[in-house]
Structure 1
Amino acid sequence: MRDATAEKTETALDAASLVTDMAKRARAAARVLASLNAEARTAALRAGAAAIRAAAPAILAANAIDMERGRSLGLTHALLDRLMLNEARIEGIAAGVEAVAGIADPVNTVAAEWERPNGLRIQQVRVPIGVIGIVYESRPNVTADAGALCVRSGNAVILRGGSEALNSSRAIHAAFVAGLASAGVPADAVQLVPVADRAAVGAMLTAQGLIDVIVPRGGKSLVARVQSDARVPVLAHLDGNNHVYVDGGADPEKALTIVRNAKLRRTGVCGAAETVLVDEAAKDQLAPLARMLLDAGCEVRGDAATQGVDPRVKPAAEADWDTEYLEPIVAMKLVHGVSDAIAHIERHGSHHTDAIVTEDAAAAEAFLSGVDSAIVALNASTQFADGGEFGFGAEIGIATGRLHARGPVGAEQLTTMKYLVRGTGQIRP
């Protein structure tokens, strides 16, 4: 019998060897990709979108295998919804690639330029980061979204999708890369890790000098592991514990519409609202809001004031204010004005997306400036936390850190800067 430790070591070495080989090929492909002009990258993306449409039957067949396996594994409703593909969603994936093809190409754009007193002319220019590693879970559409954004921004990418979506991701990847290759983009520019072994994730996280940045997209446990174990820079958010604050100056009908959409449009996305805060000056709106959610099949967990408006409201535990449900469950609480709402969000939120509903300009500005989140909205649903809705074509994720990029990570956020300095013989005294 083989020693278990030896087997584990061998697996890790195999994974490291696999990732090293992929990264080296990606680095070579990145140099070719970055040398292409914007028109060539655009043509390649459109070819990729066409190939995804043409491969719809094969993609649906692969997804059916993943869905059956997911049900047998007992995946939650939210995870199954993220995993599921149909003709409309495949069309949405292809349309998303086309949307990325249609956005402005960020590579080699001049962000700023100036001339120094000594005659030196300096330009700050956007350039690709290099090789991006993306680790994601049960959303097979990320395969195309991430690949398209990296091609648009001149980066090569190594994709590691979740095992639950492996067949779907492989089918999408095969079609997309075939389309890219037909238009002159190296196939190695968009690679998919071919194995489900978690050792491959560990190898990616420690691939210093091979992978330039890691972007995790998935549940809290995945992102926490990436942030804990990575030796490569990480662009990520842990969770989307998002809030809608209904201010005393809110329009009641607008509040009902926004809260319903923010919570229930799709409960399993990171932009879904998880807590509704109601100003005591708008206490008369507490009952209509709670009943609207309850009648729509959403469980409401509330403080004493919220429990008092409907017997179906369950008491909220302290942990509910910190929970990203990703299910039709919402926490609801009465607060004492905009300052109290901001304090609650600062204490319990995840700095992802938070919204205020109000017609009071002073309250709106206090909230917009006082809430320290990547996205802060006025009179709009938190479910607009999406790169496509921001006009980015698509996104790799929502970054909640404070370095490099914050908010939806699109093509421009996948570039870095270099400085071009043009002189006429100047030397430094």
Structure 2
Amino acid sequence: MSEVREKATLAKAITPMLGTLSTAQKNEALRLMAEALVAETDSIIQANAVDLERGKTNGLAASMLDRLSLNPARIAAIAEGLKEIIILDDPIGDLLEEFARPNGLLVRKVRVPLGLIGIIYEARPNVTVDAAGLCLKSGNAVLLRGGSDALSSNKRIVEVLHSALALSDIPVDALQLVTNPDRASVDEMLKLNGLLDVVIPRGGHSLIQNVVKNATVPVIETGAGICHTYADNDADPVKALRIAINAKAQRPSVCNSMETLLLQEDFAERHLQAFAKAFAEVHVELRGSANVLKLIPEMKAATSEDWATEYNDYILNVKIVADLDEALAHIRQYGTMHSECIVTENAATAEKFMQQIDAAAVYHNASTRFTDGYEFGFGAEIGISTQKLHARGPMGLPALTSTKYYVHGNGQIRQ
């Protein structure tokens, strides 16, 4: 039996009892996990150093190395994320509806775990902990398959979490990590019908599309993030610049960072030079449309491929558009239904933008960087769903549940 199937089988066997655990039992396990992470900070950093060295040897970009890197402060923050999950309401058993039928049947609709969740993700070892915490708190078992860039970090983290689970009422088998770095292990996960109840990909466009196109188990599609900010002629230039700089440069390696800045013509004429200077000061390379190059000839030209690229880096496309309709058309062509922003003081324009943009999150005068489970008050997130069925946007605990109808009778039969 392969590693993938063996670990999925072990985790699946645990799922019936996980749904019966009390909130107190789950919270105690999360507390032990958080404490173990802090206690084992040094050993986790040692394992992470192996990944960082391998990443440098393999030419991993600086932004990707930043995503991969762990230090005491980051590990403490990851552990704190588990503690924040503790204080979140447990969704399992929530009564969503209750009604009586004319024949006397009492019908109750309640939240229940999904079962065994498979999560395929790339080089962010914090996802290992976030996913484990959210899945276990929501009564699910989890099968993790992280990127090969973070393999040493993930293995050590899961070893630490297993040591904590061994002291709790949650069986160690509820948390599994696939350690085979071969892509075949991903392909096998995608076809574990009867074992995996759902698979959630987190990463770049190619990873997500591979999962969406090839999985035979249900998929919750999370977002590649080609996010846009549009400043129209009524935008406050100070506000627009602050938002744009934050959306691109605060942490460019994440999916809610901005990849393209759209400027209406008059606004660009007045403020593009100042914007370009400000982006240069934070080391962002700009790539412009033909009409942008007329104003700043030394800027690199943006290609059709650039508009469709999620850089995860200090690179930003800039395009001048005639009006809102052209901005909307560009976003519809290149956006990934993740997060989109308009900066304007015109309430009617903002409302049209927010109504007509099809994305998980739309913003008026605020950075796209807020699309995040923590920022929305959900605690740690399992991912940001860009699809429309089951869950959309930052996915907290309720998104990791399904529903079940409990029907109580007194001998009724259907006529």
TM-score per shorter chain, which class? over 0.9
> Is 1:122–2:90 an aligned residue pair?
no
> Is 1:307–2:323 an aligned residue pair?
no
Distance 1:114 1:246 in 2: 49
Q: CA deviation at 1:414?
A: 0.8
Distance 1:30 1:357 in 2: 47
8 Å contact from structure 2 (residues 88, 379) kept in 1: yes
Distance 1:118 1:253 in 2: 65
Query: 1:263 aligns to what?
Result: 248
User: For 1:122-201, what aligned pairs fall within 5 Å after superposition?
Assistant: 122-201=107-186
Query: 1:332 aligns to what?
Result: 318
Query: 1:239 aligns to what?
Result: 224
8 Å contact from structure 2 (residues 225, 256) kept in 1: yes
| 145-154 or 22-31, larger mean C-alpha shift | 22-31
Deviations 1:108-161 (A, max 9, x none): 112223333444332221110000111112111111010001011100001111
8 Å contact from structure 1 (residues 291, 310) kept in 2: no
Deviations 1:67-98 (A, max 9, x none): 11111111122221111111111111111111
Query: 1:220 aligns to what?
Result: 205
Residue of structure 1 aligned with 2:264, choices 268, 273, 279: 279
Deviations 1:151-178 (A, max 9, x none): 1110000111122211100111111222
Residue of structure 2 aligned with 1:369, choices 343, 355, 380: 355
State the AA in 2 paired with 1:194: T
Which ranges in structure 2 are unaligned for 5 or more consecutive residues?
Answer: none
Distance 1:129 1:356 in 2: 36
User: For 1:8-19, what aligned pairs fall within 5 Å after superposition?
Assistant: 14-15=1-2, 18-19=3-4
What is the DSSP-based 3-state SS (H/G/I as helix, E as strand, rest coil) of the residue aligned with 1:75?
coil
Residue of structure 1 aligned with 2:194, choices 209, 230, 233: 209
| 232-241 or 204-213, larger mean C-alpha shift | 232-241
> Is 1:358–2:347 an aligned residue pair?
no
Which ranges in structure 1 are unaligned for 5 or more consecutive residues?
Answer: 1-13
Distance 1:162 1:319 in 2: 25
Q: CA deviation at 1:196?
A: 2.1
What RMSD, in angstroms, separates the aligned Cα atoms of the two structures? 1.6
TM-score (norm 2): 0.96
Q: CA deviation at 1:335?
A: 1.6
Residue of structure 2 aligned with 1:101, choices 53, 71, 86: 86
Distance 2:298 2:311 in 1: 19
Query: 1:6 aligns to what?
Result: none
TM-score (norm 1): 0.92
What is the DSSP-based 3-state SS (H/G/I as helix, E as strand, rest coil) of the residue aligned with 2:45?
helix
Query: 1:419 aligns to what?
Result: 405
Query: 1:9 aligns to what?
Result: none
